[in-house]
Structure 1
Amino acid sequence: MDEFIKFNNQTSGRDKIFRLCQYTSRIVWYSLEKRHGNAAVLQKAKHLDEILGLMRRLLRFGRFYETLHSTFPVMSISDGVIRLTSSLSRIANASFMFLDHVVCLDKLGLLPSKMIEAPKWDLLATKFWLYAILLGLTRDFYDILRIYKEEFQVKFRTSRIREMANSAGTSSSTSTAEIKNLKYRIVNHPNSVVKCVRQVKVISQCVHDHADVAVDTVKNLFDLFIPLNSLGIVKLSPGVIGLLGCLSTVVSVIPQLNPMVKMVPSS
């Protein structure tokens, strides 16, 4: 209960609660619409979807400046790829929020009539959201490749050499030449089934050791299809979009509950 109270006290925590409810309501009204369910309940579910969407926009109102300002510390990162993708991702996210703020003001009737074309601004905001997700995925895949090079190849081959050395009764006095010969045999003549099993084990270990990258990648992959659908690049039903939104929200809660799996720097 204490963890929930702490989570709910955060603005981002409340946003995720509303987001989960919003996408759940979308699943509900789509299911009712498909099955020709109760019309009154259907309209209430659609109305709840719209209200929660507006509430989330109000909750993040003004955060575009905070997101844009957070770009400056990222620019001092030594790794060029992470520096570039993280900086551009935050700029794209800040642009999305700014445009979303303007659309929100228009929906509330606080802007002069016909000052903006809300559908076009909303479409542009969605594009910036898509750019931010794609940049985040680029950074995720870069981290995955780096992990592969650092852990998958080195640790996998080293552990296999040790296992084969032990099984062959290799003593501590084994010469360097014998170890090199053993390494060559393992790398070039592995049993395919054993190799596959070992690779799965190593991948599982990598996911466990780098849960932050795994969680961020899964979240971004779930999120990716939502703006793609809004832009008409892919065509998914509201029910599928609602399911993807729920899954993405649940995954994004994990770093807040466990800071050890939070990406640093976040995208």
Structure 2
Amino acid sequence: MEPWVRFSAQSHARERLLRAAQYACALAADALRRNGASAAALESVRRLEAHLGLGRKLLRLGSSAEAVEAAKRAMHLSDTVLRFCVTLGHLNRALYLACDNVLWAGKSGLVPSVEQEKWSHRSFRYFLFSLVLNLGRDAYELRILLEREAGGKRAKGGDGALQARADSRLQQLGLRLQLQLRLLLRVLRRNPPLLLDLVRNLCDLFIPLDKLGLYRSSPGFVGLCGLTSSVLSILTILHPWLKLKP
């Protein structure tokens, strides 16, 4: 299994570049359609998008093995919530990638009998489960950081004076919300890996929701979300310190 893991790691950056290009094509196709471009131009962009998607699937062959290995490592995390979210997130990602490999075999013509609609639905369903678990992990880590920061502020008495000035319940509520927003922004600003992971997962979330018909979005919006999450993924590859650990 180790050779497959090494191969997957080497091809991950190229796959992210192809993903960014694929969703850029989706965004461009939507813009061309809105501006009344010719059918030939739209077909060319969509054909390029399809080829990029097929190339991505080829580069992801064996990536499910990498996800299984990551799940094995996550099982040893001391924090119960993190162990649950990270392990199941990787396992769902492994299932998503395995379905994607079957789709590649069908679209490339190696296994013409593959029911592409059925396997595509399965793939996006596992992708959605993985994203929900990743977002749960992000929310858990964010809550811990917020509580730690709020505890430090209470110990210093930094926000008590502001609350003392509120002479009505409405003012107290507005002040409390203002303080919570300041606290949230401060925590996210001080933790770029968590901020990037949260934004990336939120952007990716709209893709399976749209493909599964749970929340319909425009092709342009889906393309923008995919492009944004791809660029953020490339940033974590170029600057490993921006990747959320574990």
TM-score, normalised on structure 2?
0.86
Structure 1 unaligned residues grouped into runs of 5+? 1-8, 164-184
CA contact (8 A) 1:156 1:202 kept: no
- What letter is aligned with 1:253? I
Please give the secondary structure, in 2, of the residue aligned with 1:264: coil
Q: Separation in 2 of the partners of 1:99 and 1:137?
A: 22
Equivalent pair of 1:223/1:244 in contact (CA under 8 Å)? yes
Query: Which residue in the other structure is 2:203 paired with?
Result: 222
Pairing partner for 1:189 from 139, 164, 167: 164
**1:160 counterpart (157, 161, 170):** 157
Which stretch of the first structure deviates more once superposed, 73-82 or 196-205? 196-205
- Residue 190 of structure 1: CA displacement? 4.5
Deviation at 1:206? Answer: 1.2
Note if contact 2:163-2:175 (Cα within 8 Å) is conserved in structure 1: no
Confirm or deny: 8 A CA contact 1:140 1:213 kept in the other structure: yes
In the TM superposition, residue 221 of structure 1 has moved relative to its aligned partner by 0.3
Residue number among 111, 115, 118 corresponding to 2:116 in the alignment: 118
Partner letter of residue 204 of structure 1?
Answer: L
1:172 alignment partner in structure 2 = none
Identify the residue that residue 100 of structure 1 maps to in structure 2: 100
C-alpha offsets along residues 117-168 of structure 1, whole Å, 9 cap, x if unaligned?
22101101110000000000010101111111111x112223435x9xxxxx
Deviation at 1:19, TM superposition (A): 1.1
Distance 1:34 1:188, change over 3 A: closer
Task: Give the aligned residue type for 2:235.
Answer: I
Q: How does 1:142-157 map to 2 (within 5 A)?
A: 142-151=140-149, 153-157=150-154
Name the SS of the counterpart of 2:76 in structure 1: coil
Which residue is 2:231 aligned to? 250
Q: Structure 1 residue runs of 4+, over 4 Å off? A: 190-201
Q: What displacement does 1:196 show?
A: 6.4
The CA deviation at 1:201 is 4.4
Gaps of 5+ in 2: 1-8
The amino acid of 2:220's aligned partner reads: G
Offset of residue 202 of structure 1: 3.6
1:48 partner amino acid:
L
1:70 alignment partner, SS class = helix
Q: Secondary structure at the match of 1:13?
A: helix
8 Å Cα contact 2:203-2:229 kept in structure 1: yes
CA contact (8 A) 1:157 1:187 kept: no
Moved more, 94-103 or 256-265: 256-265
Q: Name the SS of the counterpart of 2:157 in structure 1.
A: helix
Higher alpha-carbon Rg: 1
Mapping for residues 230-245 of structure 1, pairs under 5 Å: 230-245=211-226
1:60 aligns with 2:74: no
* Cα shift at 1:31: 1.8
Q: Distance in 1 between matches of 2:81 and 2:177?
A: 31
How far is 1:188 from its partner? 5.5
Cα 1:254–1:155 change in 2 (3 A) is farther
Q: CA deviation at 1:36?
A: 2.1
Structure-1-length-normalised TM-score: 0.80
C-alpha displacement of 1:194: 7.4
Contact kept? 1:75, 1:87, Cα under 8 Å = yes
Query: What amino acid is aligned across from residue 84 of structure 1 in structure 2?
Result: F
